[in-house]
Amino acid sequence: MPRATPHAWFSSPADAANRLEATGYLTDRTTATTAHLAGALEKPLLIEGPAGVGKTELAKAVAKATGAELVRLQCYEGLDEARALYEWNYKKQLLRIQAAGSQEWSSTHDDIFTEEFLLTRPLLTAIRRAEPTVLLIDEVDKTDVEVEGLLLEVLSDFQVTIPELGTLAAVRRPFVVLTSNATRELSEAVKRRCLYLYLDYPDAERERDIVLSQVPGIDDRIAAQLVDMVGRMRDLDLKKSPSIAETIDWARTLIALEINDLDEAAVESTLGVVLKHASDHARAVRELKLRR
């Protein structure tokens, strides 16, 4: 089957920045440029950085900004080919075998290994779609090293080989985003096939802009107070630093509680929104000199 005409993801870095920001995702020049290039060069985009800095949200924003379908593969330890790529519908195959009765096995075999019995998983689903698709391979560093071999065929040639059916090549290459929290080093083979983007926590001004855009009605002054406090928490040696999403949740909490000033009492009473470990609570109270 011939390849479809490549989808025009973004016409320029400026176009990427404008369209991503229209979805509510505030970006910088480097991120916008890399997103544009990933589409223009049809190269997978590997995004690394701490948890909660907007890696997954960038993939969602690309899909929303371009009108593409988002297909997500959530990675985890123990992920295998059957969950990532495809598997056969064994129950349906067994029923067909039973219904075939005395039919020769060679005929039955050819009958049960067809499209009718194929269960596609995220990787194969994304490759087979003719419509514009964003394939999000989320937290790829959580998988076993062996899974990277499976990804290599997909990321190299955008095709999958199924022994019973042959090689299935992409009609239209998806916009591929891999995210990693860098809990382990990915193989050089995977990295060579990708563009690379590192996302860190934003500076105070950008995070304040994010809060103001995501939390309508919040006062600029209290947004600045909140972002400053989150920044101070991230400077502590915590088990889990507050993410951008938790900053936004904290802003919404202050509005819900009608808190108009982020004083020590307000911070201490709402710490559970941003800090999720008892040791982090204790350290924040102690080192930020919050009253008990």
- In order along its 292 residues, the chain shows pLDDT tens digits of 555 556 679 999 999 999 999 999 999 999 999 999 999 999 999 999 998 899 999 999 999 999 999 999 999 988 988 888 888 888 887 887 777 766 665 566 667 777 788 888 999 999 989 999 999 999 999 988 778 888 887 888 888 888 888 888 888 999 999 999 988 888 898 899 999 999 999 999 999 999 999 999 899 999 999 999 999 999 998 999 999 999 999 999 999 999 988 888 888 899 999 999 999 999 988 888 765 4
β-strands 175-180, 195-198: how paired? unpaired
**DSSP 8-state code for residue 116:** G
Longest CA–CA span in the chain (Å) reads 81
Write the CB contacts of 290 (distance below 8 Å, at least 6 apart in sequence): 264, 267, 268, 284
Contact, 137 vs 179, CB < 8 A? Answer: yes
Query: Which tokens sit at 211?
Result: 């809060």
Question: pTM for the complete prediction?
Answer: 0.86
Q: Give pLDDT, residue 92.
A: 83
**CA 252 from centre of chain:** 23
Q: Looking at this protein, which amino acid is placed at residue 219?
A: D
Predicted pLDDT at 111? 72
Q: Which residues 6+ apart lie within 8 Å of 23 measured at CB?
A: 61, 64, 65
69-74: strand order across its sheet: 69-74, 133-138, 175-180, 45-48, 195-198
Given this model, what pLDDT does residue 30 score? 96
Task: Quote the pLDDT of residue 109.
Answer: 62
**Collapsed DSSP state (helix, strand, coil) of residue 168:** strand
Predicted confidence at residue 4, as pLDDT, reads 55
Question: Alpha carbon of 54 to those of 68, 198, 228, 230: distances in Å?
Answer: 19, 11, 19, 16
Task: Provide the pLDDT for residue 75.
Answer: 93
d(CA 60, CA 43): 17
For residue 28, give the amino acid letter: D
Instruction: Identify the pLDDT of residue 223.
Output: 94
Contact between 32 and 13 under an 8 Å Cβ cutoff? The reply is: yes
DSSP code of 216? T
